[in-house]
Amino acid sequence: MGMFDGLNISASGLTAQRFRMDVVSSNIANSDTTREKKVGGQWQPYQRKVVNLAPVQNSFQSVLDDSMGSSAGGGVQVASVTADTTPFNEKYDPSDPDADKNGYVKEPNVDPLKEMVDLI
């Protein structure tokens, strides 16, 4: 184990968490956005994003260190950012320009309270 391995592992975790916090803050900022993109000619609301983390991929050096018993792991990295598949919230407001023929407006599937807990 090298002198800076522990620092590199910690730094990878901090970098991944900073990225996750950026995505959470984007979710909070768009919690009222009802027109993010058009799908089939209809506007869709913002869809919550989720960050997935994974261990750093094995390199030759890490496999060699493991076999010699001197490895401390490799840290974490952002594996992907996926869209949350929970259904959109619906609010009855026939006066809203985004309302459907029944008067319901699709709102983002973002819960600000849940996002704030994720920040913690």
Distance between CA atoms of 12 and 60, rounded to whole angstroms?
A: 19
Q: How far is CA 43 from CA 8, 26, 33, 37, in A?
A: 44, 19, 11, 6
Range from 11-20, 33-42, 55-64 that averages highest in pLDDT: 11-20
Give how many domains the chain has, as a whole number.
Answer: 1
Structural domain of 110: 5-119
pLDDT digits (tens, 9 = 90+) for 45-103: 999 999 999 988 766 776 777 677 665 567 888 999 999 999 999 999 999 888 889 99
